[in-house]
Structure 1
Amino acid sequence: MVWTPRTLADALNNIADLDIEYNKSSLIIKMNDYGDLPLTVLFTSQQIIIETYICPANTIRDTAEFNVFLLRNQKVLPLSSVGITRVK
């Protein structure tokens, strides 16, 4: 099956507590059970990219340990990336 924003939105509509907006190339999913956590799902011809927040940077007690954790787990999830962004 080839996933498109429409087919994925239709499949996810069976899951309660999600608000889904979609257009030709993306979805914006709000996970109501997780503090309205937003997921942005982008579709390209070759892949699906999902972007979301992990946590506020100021809640990480040991940033060095957290960075090592992310670097070690990069091998498990090789197509993942992590960054810091300012949220309004």
Structure 2
Amino acid sequence: MAGNLEATMDTRAARYFKWLLFWQQQGRCCYCGEHVVLTYRPYEAVRPYAATLEHLQRRADGGTGHSSNLAMACKRCNNTRGERDWLSYASWRRKEF
């Protein structure tokens, strides 16, 4: 989950990765494709559309914190993905099947 990832990174690194991924993903969630809000204000960070850092391959499945395994997701998608692999979850969120 994003909170755990961001807790293990220093604040500047987490902010940098969020900004970089926000730019690369054109401000959209990697799962649902909806626009996200990049914020560092605690009261906005709990909203469903707040940008979070996400491990594409879950750490429980052997994923690492390497930048190639990180994406930006809205808080709602990050919190509801569960144990599903990222590609199946993205297809489900976008109603592709």
Whether TM exceeds 0.5 here: the answer is no
**Counting helix residues as a fraction of each chain, which structure ranks higher?**
2
TM-score by length of 1: 0.28
TM superposition score normalised by structure 2: 0.26
Whose Rg is larger? Answer: 1
Looking at both structures, which has the greater relative contact order when contacts are Cα pairs under 8 Å and sequence separation is at least 6?
2
